[in-house]
Amino acid sequence: DRAELSLLRDAEAITLDGVRVKLEANIELPEEAAMALEAGADGIGLFRSEFLFMGRSDLPGEQEQYEAYASVVQTMAGRPVTIRTLDIGADKTLDGDIAVAANPALGLRAIRYCLANPEIFGTQLRALLRASLHGKIRILIPMISHMHEVHAVRQAIAVAGAELEARRIPYASNYELGAMVEIPAIAIAIEPFIDSLDFLSIGTNDLIQYTLAIDRGDNDVAELYDPMHPAVLRLIAHTINAGERAGKPVAVCGEMAGDASVTRMLLGLGLKEFSMHPQQLLDVKKEVRLAHSNALRIKVASALNRAERIDLASLAG
């Protein structure tokens, strides 16, 4: 019940065998950071910045974005804040955009859109560099599939910094750079991405869509949208294992991370960083505190080796 959950708020997210897990919050608007803090989040694992851009006829400028990002960083008072750059296209469109690509989910979306629109991207990057003055920002790039996109992002950040310098506007370069793992290609060929980035965050919503060729918003095929498909779980496991080997943090920020019925399964895959809606945080923490991580890892690995479906009931208790 709620009273029990509120006691949990200040309890550590640690398994029975002593694995400390980070539980972070997904937010869509700066005001929601307060809710994340209230829920006891270890940080912001995903700020979907596109919501600053949606439902309006103009674009948010550098100053407006700077204030929005800085306010989240200030609210979180030293906890890490992961801000995803504009993920527009497909299911999220800007007003006035008449982008009707034949396959929008496979089209000019997210980082592809940003690299094709350097003014929009540059404005956001300058705002992020300025907001970094107030605390540690983790810049998260959506829909990465190629290494040359990572290089182009670094170049764009360098240009943004040079522009601020030319205008004598203060900024900091203490940011970390990470990528969403939400296209199967990057999960399969993960090593160079792990090596050149500071962290990764698995977007299971899109990873499932692209792995199973199931439109995440299409009701006619919703039954085939299966987070537990062994192929999906192998991609998640492969990414987590690569991160573990390289000593780089890997989070899950898709819907799965906030679903307490699969918390044990994700712990069994080796996940140590979960990001979810603030309201889901305490239920997930409760599961973490009742789980034995090592036993789960052995069970999950043996099922995945055979590409068997994992029986969630077999992971309980």
Q: Taking CB under 6 A as the rule, does residue 44 contact ligand PEP?
A: no
Q: Taking CB under 5 A as the rule, does residue 206 contact Mg ion?
A: yes
**Segment contacting Mg ion (CB under 5 A): 22-30, 203-211, 212-220, 237-245?**
203-211
Does 176 count as an annotated binding residue?
Answer: no
Which residue, 62 or 87, has its beta carbon nearer to ligand PEP? 87
> Which partner in ligand PEP, Mg ion, none is near 135 (CB below 5 to 8 A by kind)?
none
**Considering the complex, what minimum distance in angstroms separates the CB of residue 70 from ligand PEP?**
22
Does 206 count as an annotated binding residue?
Answer: yes
Which residue, 172 or 177, has its beta carbon nearer to ligand PEP? 177
For ligand PEP, the binding residue among 205, 225, 295, 299 (CB under 6 A) is 205
**Tokens for 128?**
């992020």
Region of residue 140 (left: phi > 0; alpha: psi -120 to 50; beta: else): beta
Catalytic-role residue among 46, 237, 253, 281: 253
253 is catalytic: yes
Contact track, ligand PEP, 139-178, x by CB under 6 A: ----------------------------------------
**Segment contacting ligand PEP (CB under 6 A): 188-196, 197-205, 242-250, 307-315?**
197-205
> Which partner in Mg ion, ligand PEP, none is near 252 (CB below 5 to 8 A by kind)?
none
Which residue, 54 or 316, has its beta carbon nearer to ligand PEP? 54
For ligand PEP, the binding residue among 203, 243, 258, 270 (CB under 6 A) is 203
**Segment contacting Mg ion (CB under 5 A): 15-23, 147-155, 176-184, 292-300?**
176-184
**Segment contacting Mg ion (CB under 5 A): 16-24, 116-124, 175-183, 229-237?**
175-183
Three-state helix/strand/coil letters over the chain = CHHHHHHHCCCCCECCCCCECEEEEEECCHHHHHHHHHCCCCCEEEEEHHHHCCCCCCCCCHHHHHHHHHHHHHHCCCCCEEEECCCCECCECCCCCCCCCCCHHHCCCCHHHHHHCHHHHHHHHHHHHHHHHHCCEEEEECCCCCHHHHHHHHHHHHHHHHHHHHCCCCCCCCCEEEEEECCHHHHHCCHHHHHHCCEEEECHHHHHHHHHCCCCCCHHHHHHCCCCCHHHHHHHHHHHHHHHHHCCCEEECCHHHHCHHHHHHHHHCCCCEEEECHHHHHHHHHHHHHCCHHHHHHHHHHHHHCCCCCCHHHHCC
Which residue, 19 or 179, has its beta carbon nearer to ligand PEP? 179
Residue 242 has phi, psi (to 5 degrees) of -65, -40
- Adjacent-strand bridge partners of 25: 44, 276
Angle of helix 118-131 versus helix 62-75 axis, rounded to 10: 40
**Considering the complex, what minimum distance in angstroms separates the CB of residue 54 from ligand PEP?**
12
Q: How many residues bind Mg ion (CB under 5 A)?
A: 3
First to last CA, the chain: 19
For ligand PEP, the binding residue among 24, 62, 182, 259 (CB under 6 A) is 182
Does 182 count as an annotated binding residue?
Answer: yes
Report the greatest alpha carbon distance in the chain.
60
Does 48 count as an annotated binding residue?
Answer: yes
Does 216 count as an annotated binding residue?
Answer: yes
Residues serving a catalytic function are 253
Chain residues in the site for ligand PEP (CB under 6 A) = 46, 48, 87, 182, 203-206, 253-254
Known binding residues for Mg(2+) are 182, 206
